[in-house]
């Protein structure tokens, strides 16, 4: 199925220029900070074990669907195939990471998805979903032919080539912002009249994070953020964890989610909110700038509920 698509060129700057901006923002929130431009580590190797080596080549981000397809009631017709999405964002042979809703027709229920795959010629799917199971939760690996998601996804896509990236390390949080929001807001402040997109991965090396997992689809209307928050199930998840992260500095009128990060550890995963161990938390991130932003299947009847 073909979905409506809009696209805009994003502002890009030499990565070296981004370093000082990120450093300034992060130092307000973390006791120890380093930001540098480095060659991306080989992401096919431990501890990453991703299906592509790097975060370079034809970089782009996409915002597909959105929370209006989840609340007040879920639109179960909104199912997206990543191979089709890759064509819609003009990169059929993509390496994709991101955060979205799990494919309910495959999983059998609502879930959190950690997209991590290649499309096209060298297709490979290492994606995982986290779902509720009894009183707890379960991390499930999707099969190679299950490269799809439901309702919404924010993704970073590229050729998966080696290349320069922003390496960010931060430990011991002293402010109130979470790691991702701190980076995004620093970019917004540094480029106040530009639209800048970032995507990549971060690892929580120590500490623990508050994450949520969506329950099965609500049969009762969810009409505001408080009702959504009460519906979600929250868990503290301990390091080590790897997160896939997508953000944009501002919305150029495309009804965007400004940041979205999902991740997993050995036996658990979910939607990242913030760390709960400020004294011991440590992050290591690898991000690249996106050249283009795609808005796919933008909801016609929209709202801002559930975008946290």
How sure is the predictor about 31, in pLDDT bands with cuts at 50, 70 and 90? very high
Nearest CA-CA partner of 15 in 196, 219, 252, 230: 196
β-sheet bridge partners, residue 154: 63, 99
- Specify the fold of 7-296: 60s Ribosomal Protein L30; Chain: A; (3.30.1330)
Q: What is the pLDDT of residues 57-91, one digit of tens each?
A: 999 999 999 999 999 999 999 999 999 999 999 99
Residue 54 confidence (pLDDT)? 99
pLDDT of 135 over the 90 cut: no
Distance between start and end Cα atoms, the chain: 29
pLDDT of 192 over the 90 cut: yes
Q: What single string gives the DSSP state of each residue in 158-210?
A: E--B--EEEEEEEEEE-SSS-HHHHHHHHHHHHSTTS--EEEEEEEEEESEEE
* Average pLDDT estimate for 284-293: 99
3-state secondary structure (DSSP) of residue 108: coil
Q: What single string gives the DSSP state of each residue in 237-295?
A: EESSEEEEEEEESS-SSS---SEEEEEE-SS-EEEEEEES-TTT-EEEEEEEEESEEEE
Residue 137 confidence (pLDDT)? 97
Cβ atoms of residues 283 and 239 within 8 Å = no
β-sheet bridge partners, residue 295: 6, 63
pLDDT of 1 over the 80 cut: no
What's the whole-model pTM score?
Answer: 0.98
């Amino acid at each position: 199925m073909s979905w409506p698509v809009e696209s805009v060129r994003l502002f890009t700057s030499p990565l070296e220029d981004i370093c000082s901006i990120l450093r300034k923002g992060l130092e307000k929130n973390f006791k120890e900070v380093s930001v540098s431009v480095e060659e991306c580590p080989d992401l096919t190797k431990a501890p990453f074990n991703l299906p592509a080596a790097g975060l370079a080549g034809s970089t782009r981000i996409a915002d597909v669907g959105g929370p209006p397809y989840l609340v007040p009631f879920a639109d179960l017709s909104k199912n997206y195939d990543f191979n089709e999405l890759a064509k819609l964002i003009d990169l059929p042979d993509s390496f994709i990471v991101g955060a979205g809703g799990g494919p309910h027709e495959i999983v059998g229920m609502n879930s959190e998805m950690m997209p991590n795959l290649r499309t096209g010629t060298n297709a490979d799917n290492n994606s995982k979903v986290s779902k509720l199971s009894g009183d707890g939760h379960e991390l499930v690996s999707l099969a190679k032919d299950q490269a799809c998601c439901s309702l919404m996804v924010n993704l970073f896509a590229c050729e998966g080539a080696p290349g320069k990236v922003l390496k960010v390390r931060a430990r011991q949080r002293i402010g109130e912002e979470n790691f991702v929001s701190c980076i995004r807001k620093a970019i917004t402040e540094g480029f106040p009249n530009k639209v800048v997109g970032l995507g990549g991965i971060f690892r929580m090396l120590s500490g623990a994070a508050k994450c949520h997992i969506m329950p099965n689809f609500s049969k009762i209307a969810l009409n505001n953020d408080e009702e959504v928050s009460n519906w979600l199930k929250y868990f503290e998840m301990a390091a080590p964890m790897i997160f896939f992260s997508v953000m944009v500095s501002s919305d150029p009128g495309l009804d965007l989610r400004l940041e979205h990060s999902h991740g997993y550890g050995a036996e658990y995963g979910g939607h990242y909110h913030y760390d709960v161990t400020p004294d011991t938390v440590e992050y290591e991130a690898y991000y690249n700038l996106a050249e283009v932003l795609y808005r796919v299947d933008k909801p016609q009847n929209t709202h801002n509920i559930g975008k946290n």
